[in-house]
Each structure stands twice: as structure tokens, then as C-alpha cells.
Amino acid sequence: MPSHIDIAVNLVGSALEKDLNNVIQRAATQGVSPLIVIGSSLQESRQAIACCQQYPHQLISTAGVHPHHASEWHDNSTHELTLLAQQPQVVAIGECGLDYNRDFSPRPMQRRAFANQLALAVELQMPVLMHERDAHEDFVDILKEYRPQLSGALLHCFTGNRASLERYIEMDLHLGITGWVCDERRGSELAQLVKDIPANRIMVETDSPYLLPRSMRPKPKSSKNEPQYLPYISQYIASLRGQNAAEFAAQVYTNTCKFFSLKENYEPI
Ligand SMILES: [Zn+2]
């Protein structure tokens, strides 16, 4: 029986795609299924849906435009994204948000694409999977207008500080924690904070192939992260929270199923 759901796998166009069958099998062997494939642009969301059709029991997806791709957002994007979001494999709008760390798209375009996707999530009453790096103030400003009407709002790969965590909890967000927390240097602040995330608001994710947990021993031969390592991340977070690993995993599993409206013991057709 699966006991973990990886809520953020960057499959399309990544090293994982070439080895997809094995990636899925290795994950399933560790009780990680299904995997949520992230759509980062309209084109990638289309490809993500195609992957899901190939593996209908193992993969589901999001559809959206990442802030890195926000400059591709145009007047017809809302319409195109609506059609993608209505596909049965798609469980959330996203990932969308703001990334002022890389600034791959101009900030005004990032804000427009984010606001338009939040409006669409409200209209379709679908949950939203969001990304925020170094953009807390603007992110909150935009999100607060839509938050009361959103059916669910998840900030994936949370790596912020205590003040931002408190604000996000106040806004009733779900928070996704990655193997970033296992990094003894840059993850040390996050390691202090994870115990303060309410039990019914926390989720776990690999964000693979990025963010291989640095503390794994023996170190995996490849530096590429995979969904099969999710149980390691989950156990690590459970110990930081002072919780029993199995109980924590069960709570996270329930949170994830509820948020994405998945049936428990998920068996997609
Ligand atoms: Zn992200």
C-alpha cells in the first residue's frame, strides 16, 4: 500500500523523463505513489498530461505557468490553461507564483501571470500549487486578494524565515517541505521552523531531480534527486518535529489526499 505521495516532481524535460519507467518503479518500491508531475509552462503542462496518460495509475499532474516562464503569458493563456486544467489528470493549477531570486521573467509579468492564474483557480474552484523565492511581500499582496475564494492554496518548497512562515500560516496555506531541510548549512533555519507548521497543513515533496537531501548516508551515486527518496525526507522531518515517522507519514498522506481531492489508497484509473 502506498504511504507517500510526492507532490512535486519535475519530470518534463528533466533527467527523470528519460528513465521514467524505472523512476516510477523505484518510487513504488518505497511506497511512493502517485507522483504529482509539475506543469511549468503551457507546453510542459501538455507534456505532463501526456505522461499521465501513459502511466494512469502512477502519475497525476498540475497545469500552470511558473514565474520563470511568466514572460510567455499572453492574452489567450487563461483560455488555454482552462482547457488543460479540465483534463481529468490535472489536480491543481500551478506551479505559479513569484521568483525574484532568479528574475528569469520581468517582475510585472510575473505578477500578472500569478494573479491571472489565481483568478482562474478561483473560477474553476481548483487548488493552487505556488512557488515563492525572495518575493514574500508582493506574493502576499497578490495572494491575499484571492485567498478567501480559493479552495486550497499550497506553497511548495517553503524555505522562508519565521516571519514569512507565520504570515503564511495566518493565510491558512498548506506548506510543502523538501530535502532542503536536510542541508546542515542552508537548511538549518528551516529545520528549526518545521515543528511549528500545523499538523494538518504540512506536506512533503522531493522537487526532484533538484534538491537531493544532503544528509543521506550512504550518499546516492547520482546527484539527481528522485521520488524514491521521499520517505527519507519524511522521516527526517518527523524527527525534527519529534513525531513518530509512521504517524507523521499518515497525517501527511491524509493532508495530501484532502488537498488534491484524491481518494485515500489512491488508485487512479
Ligand atoms: Zn518551485
User: Which residues does 39 contact at the CB level (< 8 Å), separation at least 6?
Assistant: 12, 45, 48, 49, 61, 62, 63, 64, 84, 90, 94, 95
CA of 248 to the centre of ligand 1 (A): 23
Distance 99 CA to ligand 1 centre (A): 9
What is the pLDDT, as a whole number, of residue 119? 98
Ligand 1 center–CA 119 separation, angstroms: 19
Torsion angles phi and psi, residue 263, rounded to 5: -75, 145
What interhelical angle do 136-146 and 162-170 show, nearest 10? 0
pLDDT digits (tens, 9 = 90+) for 106-120: 999 999 999 999 999
Ligand 1 centroid from CA 67, angstroms: 9
Ligand 1 centroid to Cα of residue 255, in Å, is 20
> How far away, in angstroms, is 246 Cα from ligand 1 center?
27
Task: State pLDDT tens for residues 37-88.
Answer: 999 999 999 999 999 999 999 999 999 999 999 999 999 999 999 999 999 9
63 C-alpha to ligand 1 centroid (Å): 13
- Tell whether the model's pLDDT for residue 105 goes beyond 60: yes
pLDDT on residue 2: 66
Q: What is the pLDDT of residue 263?
A: 81
Query: Cβ neighbours of residue 147 under 8 Å, at least 6 residues apart?
Result: 153, 171, 172
What residue spans of 66-161 are helical by DSSP H?
77-85, 107-124, 136-146
Fill in the DSSP letter of residue 208: B
Give residue-wise pLDDT tens across range 60-69: 999 999 999 9
pLDDT of 10 over the 60 cut: yes
What pLDDT is stored for residue 269 in this prediction?
Answer: 45
Q: Whole-prediction pTM value?
A: 0.96
Q: How far is the CA of 157 from the centre of ligand 1 (A)?
A: 6
Helix (H, G, I), strand (E, B) or coil at 133: strand
Cell of 147: 485567498
Residue range 218-267, pLDDT digits in tens: 999 988 999 999 999 999 999 999 999 999 999 999 999 999 999 876 65
